Amino acid sequence: MIPTEAHPKYRTSPDAVFETFDDEIIIINMVTGSYYSLDATALGIWNLLQGQQSLSHVVRATQNAYQDDAETIESTVTKLVEELEGEGLLVRINATDAPVAAAPTASAPAASTSDDGNAPHNGTTPDSRPPFQAPKLTKFTDMQELLLLDPIHEVDEMGWPHARPEGGAAPQASAPLGTPSAPSA
Amino acid sequence: MPLPLEPVSEERREEASAFFATVHSVFEAAAHRCGVTTRIYSIGGYRVRLRFAGPPLLHALTPAFEHLRLEDEAEFDLTIGLWDSASTGTRLPPPPWGPEDILTRTAVRNYVDTRIRVAYEPVQTILSVLDTDSNEGFFWIRDAAQLPLYQCGSPLLVPLHQWMSLHGRILVHGGAVGTAEGGVLLVGKGGSGKSTAALCCLGDPHSPLLYAADDYGLVRCDPQPHFYSLYNSGKVNAADAHKHPLISSAQYAGVLDSQKALYFLHAHFPEKISTGFPLRAIVLPRVTGQGTTRLSPASQAQAMLALAPSTLFQLPGSETSKFQGLGELVRSLPCYVLESGTDWQQIPQVLGGLVAELNGNA
């Protein structure tokens, strides 16, 4: 079910950066540390959204580009967009927002959906459209720990912000150069 | 750390300039008191001058750069002054930022992607500050005796990243092996086998492949992809030492917190260390546990997934341009998976064959 606001438009979140390769797109959320890959079907949907197309238009274009039940495509596309928004990769463009230039889609593959969204299959000729495969968004979270921030509250006696090492122990200098100790197995 | 950061006010910019001037004056006081030793290195194709006030940091931080050292000290593109308070008897006043301004990855609010850039490590109190207009920077630690070993293995990582990112170079998390005609970039997150693959090549006396990196290096995309070695340090797991007999027989510098032994390879194998080469391919090492080592095609997206996150998340600033640059690099090179088997001696053979083929076609 398309959201009550039937014509929301989206843009890339300022927290995210993305690059397109062949038929896949890699997106990184620089705030959360999660990163994602989108497959070819999802890429086509992403490209339409980058082109400032409304969600309803994206749904229609996808329905026209693939064989499948229109309702299934609508719900799948809507779910993907909601997921992208929930992951902080897309933000809605409010009516009061300043106009945003459509993001360039350098190296984007040939769009799997038509831009005008007004060319439905007429049913009188063999349907050469590919079958619809649900778009796939893969999320990776293994880098999140690099962005975890332990709040620093202390200032040392010299006025410098200070943090204790993990475990709360006082910092230990490693063995100075030239006096190696045997590494533990 | 959110993108984009809020704009920096004029007041904060003036504060940053004043702080830089303070750091500069304290360094000069240390230099006056203890004398200065100068070293010049070719880093990323640029001439970088390091000025050490007093010996402690000189001894600790130069071994990793030794393979890049230049004897001609006439000109330089970047100068960094280095000192510690304990050995020089100087005191650096506290910075104009507080605990609430410290962000992830050593970044400090109001000092990211600005004219004055800072990296601050709050456990050992290590500061680097860079003026990107005057191409001058400083590195300070309260007590050089407290310098963590990882700083010796990868010195000045963040300030070099901050400066190089403005001069057409991307500091990447990756290894590299090759010949003077060309080589490959080894990419993957920690534990993927980059170091193993790179060190296997160095440790094979029959392999023509030279070692340029096992963890970090600099990459240029224009006009053609090129890798610049940054450090000649290498790290070997204690459990894997027996698999690198040539390296493990050398004296190591110390043991890192990760329980890896740190080696300065140029000191032991100068003929096997490269300062860089044209890049011919991106290789994703993957430990299979199988017997045979072989190559298989990798997609550009796979290569980007292996390269970009660990590169971006370790170093603060310039995320968007860096990500775009990595994308450009990935799209310009063929990509392969190195399925590393249990017989590590096959790794230099397989990589050597790939490098020879790609150099022959170049």
Q: Which amino acid makes up residue B92?
A: L
Of the residues B58, B124, B242, B322, the best mutation for testing chain A's interface (the one with the most A CB atoms within 10 Å of its CB) is B124
Tell me what pLDDT residue A107 has: 34
Higher pLDDT, B257 or B175: B175
Residue A179 DSSP one-character state = -
From chain B, pick out residues whose CB is under 8 angstroms from the CB of A151. 99
pLDDT at A153 > cutoff 80: no
pLDDT at A161 > cutoff 80: yes
Say which of A30, A156, A180 has its CB closest to residue B254: A180
The two beta strands, B78-84 and B136-141, are parallel
d(CA B318, CA B167): 12
Q: How far is A53 from chain B (nearest CA, A)?
A: 24
CB B344 within 8 A of CB B237: no
The two beta strands, B335-340 and B276-287, are parallel
Question: Which has the minimum average pLDDT: A162-171, B141-150, B192-201, B224-233?
Answer: A162-171
Average pLDDT, chain B: 92
Task: Find the mean pLDDT for residues A153-161.
Answer: 86
pLDDT at A175 > cutoff 50: no
Residue A174 DSSP one-character state = P
Task: Find the mean pLDDT for residues A159-170.
Answer: 68
pLDDT in tens, B80-114: 999 999 999 999 999 999 888 888 878 898 898 88
Under an 8 A CB cutoff, do A30 and B319 touch?
A: yes
**Which residue do the tokens 């702080």 mark?**
B19
Where does chain B have alpha helices with state H?
10-34, 55-61, 85-88, 149-153, 157-164, 194-203, 245-248, 265-268, 300-314, 319-332, 346-361
- With cut-offs at 50, 70 and 90, classify the pLDDT of residue B1: very low
CB A42 within 8 A of CB A80: yes
Q: Which amino acid makes up residue B110?
A: N
Say which of A17, A161, A184 has its CB closest to residue B99: A161
pLDDT at A172 > cutoff 50: no
- With cut-offs at 50, 70 and 90, classify the pLDDT of residue A3: low
Cα nearest neighbour of A184 on chain B? B238
CB B284 within 8 A of CB B187: yes
Where b means 16+ CB within 10 Å and e means fewer, A95-130 reads: eeeeeeeeeebeebbebbbeeebeeeeeeeeeeeee
Tell me whether B320 touches chain A (CB under 8 Å): yes
Task: Find the mean pLDDT for residues A155-171.
Answer: 71
Cis-peptide into B4, omega within 30 deg? yes
DSSP track, B140-199: EES-GGG--HHHHHSTTHHHHHHHHTTTT-EEEE-EEEEETTEEEEE--STTSSHHHHHH
pLDDT in tens, B13-54: 999 999 999 999 999 999 999 999 999 999 999 999 999 999
Residue A51 DSSP one-character state = T
pLDDT in tens, B305-354: 999 998 988 888 878 889 999 999 999 999 999 999 888 889 999 999 99
Question: Which has the minimum average pLDDT: A48-62, A106-120, B285-299?
Answer: A106-120
Average pLDDT, chain A: 76
Give me the phi and psi of B321, to 5 degrees please. -65, -35
From chain A, pick out residues whose CB is under 8 angstroms from the CB of B2. 14-15, 30-31
Say which of B123, B304, B324 has its CB closest to residue A165: B123
Cα nearest neighbour of B257 on chain A? A174
pLDDT in tens, A6-45: 578 999 999 999 999 988 999 999 888 899 999 999 999 9
pLDDT at A176 > cutoff 50: no
Mean pLDDT is highest, among A136-140, B104-108, B254-258, for A136-140
Question: How distant, in Å, are the alpha carbons of A102, B81, B105 from that of B35?
Answer: 57, 12, 33
**Which residue do the tokens 């045997």 mark?**
A182
pLDDT at A47 > cutoff 70: yes
d(CA B18, CA B16): 5
Q: How far is A125 from chain B (nearest CA, A)?
A: 36
Task: Find the mean pLDDT for residues A121-146.
Answer: 82
From chain A, pick out residues whose CB is under 8 angstroms from the CB of B101. 161
pLDDT at B186 > cutoff 90: yes
Tell me whether B16 touches chain A (CB under 8 Å): no
ipTM of the complex: 0.87
Between the CA atoms of B116, B121, B122 and B127, what dihedral angle is there, to the nearest 10 degrees?
-50
Strand-pair partners of B284: B337
Tell me whether B221 touches chain A (CB under 8 Å): no
Cα nearest neighbour of A24 on chain B? B301
Task: Find the mean pLDDT for residues B61-79.
Answer: 94
Question: How distant, in Å, are the alpha carbons of B4, B103, B258 from that of B7?
Answer: 8, 16, 38
pLDDT at A183 > cutoff 50: no
From chain B, pick out residues whose CB is under 8 angstroms from the CB of A33. 313
Task: Find the mean pLDDT for residues B258-273.
Answer: 90
Say which of B122, B189, B254 has its CB closest to residue A163: B122
Higher pLDDT, B361 or B233: B233
Under an 8 A CB cutoff, do B241 and A173 touch?
A: no
Chain B window 56-115: which residues touch A at a Cβ cutoff of 8 Å?
Answer: 59-60, 63, 91, 93-95, 97-99, 101-105
Cα nearest neighbour of B59 on chain A? A177
From chain A, pick out residues whose CB is under 8 angstroms from the CB of B309. 28, 35, 140, 142-143
**Which element (helix H / strand E) includes B315?**
none
